A and B are shown apart, each in its own frame.
Chain A
């Protein structure tokens, strides 16, 4: 493998890893606060992609405005899903909420198929943000730089928000103990909604960037990335935000390099995620950065 090809793969790995990391955070935040695997999270990618698609191509809005609208719509949808499908079940057995999440996911996917049709559409690539960069012999898309850049900015912002702000501290407190948080005058429902706003917005950004990178969108487009990002979150230690980031990058890099080093295994690309997951969980069942919670009673 020549240096150039290595760099090329490295760049691809970072950019795929970034997308995984962004989406994985939504899983981990929701899990952290509600102990729920939010299956509908994957479908938010698709919703964001379609809103952006219609914004640009049907309503002929500027790309940045379409993206902004897509993020807002997705955030509102994410919060509404929690209000309608999860909140009424908060005191129910966890399995009921999980089933509700699966139901919402199927609902979104099938609504998409009925309303938009199952045929893939090609996602527009605005020239302002997608162009070819040529340096010597290597040529790559501007996205290879833009995606990791935006991701890093968002990851830093989320980390700061969760660890340093009042609402972030409340999120961590609520994730620990709903009842006691309410004894601190915290409006628990507001904090849960805020968590969904953050997670869903990141999913929207991830979905839009995903569609720019792989410009074919269809109502089931969220399923596989969603599954991978869920794996990334578990790998990193579900509930841990740095863990989700790390898991996302490991998975993205791993996949790209697996295909690069062993092209004959490229058919197993998707299975690869599960293989690393199993290995990591064998050695550290709580995931790489998952806490082994020590509690004093």
Chain B
């Protein structure tokens, strides 16, 4: 579904991605793991068109999107839940969800989708009219995920959705990821919690300072000694 070939990204003089090649097949969960600063967020941001690609090619459903504008990429079906939630604090919960559906015109379906999100996250319904900035961190994360789902993406990319959440909420986030996935969505996931991410993922890539150093089915990677030592904090 999504193909990345030899992707290079620079931030000024910093060579952040040094030729990444990866693939996200339809209806799969793919995860990127790696240490801080490895280039995980940069990869997702490049796919979304938020950072310029210096070299390489990104194709989505056979169509090249390497230099397509962010808004157009979203319309083609790729939505990113950005690192750090980035909800619109000055908008209400409901307005945030509606912003997620900005490109859509099917009003009735939008209303139904909002109800579905509320079923998935009842806490959001209770806080429908509240300014999103007043939500707790976990609630904001739910809102960020809900808002992204409102665009009805074919490919949902999530950048550390469980960052800063209590263990119980982290479990909840992974339950929701599986839930979304079971409804027929393709997911590209970045997680600090590499163990959990590799457990749910069909396929994983290990990133190290801008290069992919390992790849394989999620559970195999989770069992790989090198990965365990470097990223899972196990001897």
Residues of A in contact with B (beta carbons under 8 Å apart): 166, 169-170, 172-173, 175-177, 179-188, 291, 293-297
| Chain A residue contacts of B88, Cβ below 8 A | 172-173, 176-177, 180-181
Pairwise interchain contact B95-A169, C-beta atoms closer than 8 A: yes
A182-B70, A186-B71 given as contacts; is B89 within 8 A of A169 (CB)?
Answer: no
Decide: A296 near B137, CB < 8 A? Known: A173-B88, A183-B74, A184-B151: yes
Asked if A183 and B103 make an inter-chain contact with CB atoms under 8 angstroms apart, the answer reads: no
Decide yes or no: A177 and B86 within 8 Å by CB, A183-B79, A184-B147, A296-B137 being known contacts.
Answer: yes
Encoded as 1 (CB less than 8 Å from any A CB) or 0, chain B from 68 to 86 comes to 0111101100011010101
Tell me how far the C-beta of A213 lies from the nearest C-beta in chain B, rounded to whole angstroms: 35
- In the complex, the answer to whether B89 meets A184 with C-beta atoms within 8 Å is no
Question: Are the CB atoms of A185 and B91 closer together than 8 Å?
Answer: no
- B129-159 residues with Cβ-Cβ distance < 8 A to A are 133-137, 140, 147, 151
B11 contacts chain A at the CB level, 8 A cutoff: no
| Chain B residue at smallest Cβ distance from A179 | B50
- Contact residue range for chain B? 20 to 34
Contact assessment for B133 and A180 in the assembled complex, using a CB-CB cutoff below 8 Å: no
| Contact assessment for B90 and A176 in the assembled complex, using a CB-CB cutoff below 8 Å | yes
- Taking a contact as CB atoms under 8 Å apart, the answer to whether B99 and A173 are in contact is yes
Closest A residue by C-beta to B74: A185
Across-interface contacts of A176 in B (CB, < 8 A): 88-91
B-chain residues with CB within 8 Å of residue A170 when the two chains form the complex? 99, 102
Q: Are B99's CB and A295's CB within 8 A?
A: no
Find out whether the CB atom of B91 lies under 8 angstroms from the CB atom of A173: yes
Across chains A and B, the number of contacting residue pairs, with CB separation under 8 Å, is 78
Q: Residue on A with the closest CB to B49?
A: A182
Q: Are A169 and B82 in contact (CB under 8 A)?
A: no
Point out the residues of chain A lying under 8 angstroms from B140, CB to CB: 296
Q: Which single member of A179, A181, A295 contacts B133 (CB below 8 Å)?
A: A295
A297, closest chain B residue (CB): B84
Which residues of A are found within 8 Å of B75, using beta-carbon distances? 185
Which residues of chain B are within 8 angstroms of A172 by Cβ–Cβ distance?
88, 90-91, 95
Task: Determine the chain B residues whose CB is within 8 A of the CB of A294 once the complex forms.
Answer: 133-134
Residues of A within 8 Å of B80, CB to CB, are 183
* A183 to B72 Cα, complex, angstroms: 9
Given A169-B95, A169-B98, A184-B99, are A295 and B74 also a contact pair (CB < 8 Å)?
Answer: no
Which one, B69, B100, B133, B136, contacts A184 given CB within 8 A? B100
Q: Which of chain A's residues have a CB closer than 8 A to the CB of B102?
A: 166, 170, 184-186
The distance from the CB of A164 to the nearest CB of chain B, in whole angstroms, is: 10
Could you list 6 examples of A-B contacts with CB < 8 Å?
A175-B90, A182-B50, A182-B70, A184-B99, A184-B147, A295-B89
Asked if A296 and B133 sit within 8 Å, CB to CB, the answer is yes
With a cutoff of 8 Å between Cβ atoms, the chain B residues found around residue A166 in the complex are 98, 102
Give the distance in Å from the alpha carbon of A295 to the alpha carbon of B90 in the complex: 10
Specify which chain B residues have a CB less than 8 angstroms from the CB of A295 in the assembled complex: 89, 133
- Considering the complex, give the chain A residue whose CB is closest to the CB of B144: A180
Q: Does B48 contact A (CB under 8 A)?
A: yes
**What are the interface flags for B40-73 relative to A under an 8 Å C-beta threshold, 1 for contact and 0 otherwise?**
0000000010100000000000000000011110
Q: Most chain-A CB neighbours within 10 Å: which of B71, B91, B95?
A: B71
Which residues of B are found within 8 Å of A179, using beta-carbon distances?
A: 50, 70, 82, 86
Determine the chain A residues whose CB is within 8 A of the CB of B98 once the complex forms. Answer: 166, 169
Contacts of B100 in A (CB 8 A): 184
> How close is B146's CB to chain A, nearest CB, in angstroms?
13
> Complex formed: what's the CA distance from A170 to B90 in Å?
11
B8 to chain A, nearest CB (A): 21
Minimal beta-carbon separation of B99 from chain A (angstroms)? 5
Sort A-B residue pairs by CB-CB distance and give the 4 closest, nearest first: A185-B103, A185-B74, A182-B70, A180-B86
A245 to B122, CA, bound (A): 38
Task: Given the known inter-chain contacts A169-B98, A296-B137, A296-B140, please indicate yes or no for A183 contacting B82, CB distance below 8 A.
Answer: yes
Residue of B nearest to A169 (CB): B95
- A residues less than 8 Å from B82 (CB atoms): 179-180, 183
Chain B residues whose C-beta falls within 8 Å of the C-beta of A169 in the assembled complex: 91, 95, 98-99
> Within the complex, what minimum Cβ distance (angstroms) separates B89 from chain A?
6
